Structure 1
């Protein structure tokens, strides 16, 4: 799911969580952005709508927390954590790498050799995007 679809999903989740009917929701969109449909929103307008929902009391659910690896893998997981933080990416991104590279759903389920592969992939990504490794 791309970033835009994730943000639009958040808008619709917030609408449901706040119990807004369709007329109230569209009035809010119109008041905040001048649009009557979420599909017509620019990224800046999406951010404004989400900010308005938060002002109304909606709280976005956070992603999952840091994994708790075995002692022998803790150093590699720490390195992955630093690389993800440097890139501004969530833990779910690391889980996605584990899934694509090794067909394993979570980082903490990888062995040390596989974790090393994820570290290398994140280092290549950092180099590609001009970040420090």
Structure 2
């Protein structure tokens, strides 16, 4: 017997079905009984033996039993790499180094930008919005630097 050709979508569906089984607390016997009882699968009791359309049918059956597909957190949007976004990120990290920003993460930066511009990703900022964020961060940095310099003189 030869193995089915490697289809990335097929492998993704099999992984998703296994996630659904785990989240629905289905042990192996229950899962195999569900497969055996489904019409159109010709008595198959393993996802490894199923075609993509049949894998989709199994996934639909698991959804009917309460499984909810959530986006994969590892498939994040790539970082914005335009010059203004790089400058925003650089200022943010500098503010962290100065102790003004507790969380240097990209998520915290995006939250800050969202609160200021109502835009949820650096990639979506207009040049004007990005300039406004940059100026705001520069002014914040100047305030922090002035405050730390005035405290250095007092001992």
In the superposition, the TM-score normalised over structure 2's length comes to 0.41
Give the structure with the higher percent helix.
1
Which entry has the higher C-alpha Rg, 1 or 2?
A: 2
TM-score (norm 1): 0.48
